[in-house]
Structure 1
């Protein structure tokens, strides 16, 4: 008599990162503790929502009202992606245990002001649970911050579960709006930290000067020439030299931050040369983190939108000649699916009553079960 096949253990993960380009969603099966992405869907932000989310990263008029409505609009995008995934799979909502919905980070100031600080992700998980008829797990970062941590990055534990390899140290680099590096050593003592800007500055500069949301494949940067004096100023940012645990966001790496470093450039400076310099800056910040904290690594796996930037990937490979630099596709998980899958994994950790953070990564007082659950 044959035994029955294991029951699926289905979760949906949603991610809208600091790149502000839209929502990525995955339907994942974790049966027998494996991680198999069954379906992927995405939806881009319309220009109005993207502009509002970007504006809410800084203080402004009537921002509590605007933030609440932006959260509702964001959830409409989330719900649409969930419905796309269910439709692709031919499944009813009841087949999915939970949706992990990170929300949209608009402020990230842990350990500041009063010693605890805060991290703020726009979301309306109650509305999402109503729209989707699936339990929602959200607000992953705040418990870690309450426990004295940075609240970020939260993905290193997940990276270890899917990319870790016996007998060698692997590095996993996520290049979203901000870049974060996970160091996955053979002994399992995982570390990780935000290493600097990812796409945020490159995208913002490209949008300002070309009207395009991003520099496709880094072609515009490749047409420019790196400005050594500007690069030196960018690399002088103190955050880059801070030891982990550390995290950052648009609170630091904004166009205002960049603007203060562009003062004094000759008026005839070509914008494509600034783009080339921003791309080199991003690559250098990531490579420096890898060289300082992953000295015995053999492989760098890159995910996030930055993995699709050929110029940026080429510069990483040149700066890290001792490492095999490739996208996470080589490990079976395409770059745009990794972060969403991580939040499906974190939602599963929450429902199982298991910690989602690593204290040595975030600096929290210890492991904590993360997130708040909004039942279907």
Structure 2
């Protein structure tokens, strides 16, 4: 087993609230140490610009000046996150795992688009950067998402299944570890994205604080059922979504009160999880992502799922740092040539690696020889 690397993982999710950064030590198969973490929010102006970009990303050119300007502003915030976190760690950092910001995801069109200047991040931090985690999987016919199941499975080693980890970000996704250890994963449907947009429109706050708006409303079940008639929800894993895939749901609730609209959108997210087609019924569900902070969503999940539902903190995990830690973990997997693609996770036809490495900020990356001197000799069961 190779010596673990000390990695900073970076994640900017589809909720567009800011950059999460976390340090872990890992060999890409197990985690030796969880270090400090932090979150740096985006200022409201940058968040608004990035959010507006999502509505145009399907048709906008990659060299569009506004895309480039937002990319540089986002990258600058990532640099700040790395530098702020480094001062909390005594030993040197070996590597950065940089997810970037997804602005468009359409694997059925062979496209997934994450913006972020990895070369600039490497130059300004002096560290090697692994990035572009999703595009190779999509080119192989996979969904390019979700990728977090590799990390969830590593953290859950030794815990008997069937058990599920549900990440409620802008889009929600689930990892299920079966009784035999098989990993199955997919996006379940909208997570926080629709509720965030609705809350911003009606309250000026870009999320439903404490789930209060949804808790005060009535669910319009007819609207929920019409939205759930979309073929996506009956489709078995693997499958994935763009943040804007169900943007039309906002129009569906447009005539409702602020409270009823929020309650209906929250119910949509919960019911989409309940209807997700899994090969086994999980006995336990552990929830991460911003959605676990929403009591209305959590209460809805407990009522809908015939199983125990708890935040991932019950496992001793840091639910706010989890996705950032994940991309540190995946960065080391990428360096070692370990799989990021798998039939049951992303739908790619085989176990294949992914990600790209830039050493733009390193004059002599001798550590890379050490990392790559331990070849990978097999695929997971």
- Contiguous gaps of at least 5 residues in structure 2: 363-381
- The alpha carbon displacement at 1:198 in A equals 0.3
State the partner residue of 1:106.
Answer: 103
1:20 aligns with 16
The range that moved more, 51-60 or 327-336, is: 51-60
**TM-score relative to the length of structure 1:** 0.90
User: Is the Cα contact below 8 Å between 2:170 and 2:192 reproduced in 1?
Assistant: yes
CA contact (8 A) 1:233 1:261 kept: no
Over 6 Å off, 4+ runs = 60-63
Residue in 2 aligned with 1:236? 229
Deviation at 1:108, TM superposition (A): 0.5
Listed as ranges, the matches of 1:80-229 within 5 Å are: 80-91=80-91, 95-112=92-109, 117-229=110-222
Residues 305 and 259 of structure 1, relative CA distance in 2, 3 Å threshold: closer
Deviation at 1:208, TM superposition (A): 0.3
Deviation at 1:148, TM superposition (A): 1.0
Report the equivalent of 1:353. Answer: 337
SS in structure 1 of the partner of residue 55 of structure 2: coil
Q: Are 1:261 and 2:257 an aligned pair?
A: no
Match of 2:296 in 1: 311
- 2:321 corresponds to 1:330: no
Distance, in Å, in 1 between the alignment partners of 2:349 and 2:3 is: 36
1:53-93 deviation digits (Å, cap 9, x = unpaired): 112213377872111111111111111111111111244xx
Q: Quick one: distance in 2 between partners of 1:101 and 1:364?
A: 22
Query: Aligned residue pairs: how many?
Result: 355
How far apart in 1 are the matches of 2:294 and 2:100?
25
Q: 1:72 to 1:330 in 2, by over 3 A?
A: same
Alignment-derived partner of residue 356 in structure 2: 372
Corresponding position of 1:362: 346
Counterpart of 1:3? none
Stretches of structure 1 lacking an aligned partner (at least 5 in a row): 1-5
How far did residue 368 of structure 1 move?
1.6
CA distance in 2, matches of 1:21, 1:119: 21
Give the stretch that moved more between structures: 48-57 or 189-198.
48-57
The Cα offsets for residues 243-269 of structure 1, whole Å up to 9 and x where unpaired, read as 222100223122xx1244236x4xxx3
Structure 2 counterpart SS, 1:88: coil
1:293 is aligned, of 275, 278, 282, to 278
1:226 to 1:125, Cα distance in 2 relative to 1, 3 A:
same
Q: Residue 306 and residue 164 in structure 1: after superposition, are their counterparts in 2 closer, same or farther (change >3 A)?
A: farther
Equivalent position to 1:276, from 240, 260, 263: 263
For residue 37 of structure 1, what is the aligned residue in structure 2? 34
**In 2, are the aligned partners of 1:157 and 1:358 still within 8 Å (CA)?**
no
Q: Which has the higher helix share?
A: 1
- State the Cα distance separating 1:367 from its structure 2 match: 1.6
1:106–1:210 Cα change, 3 Å: same
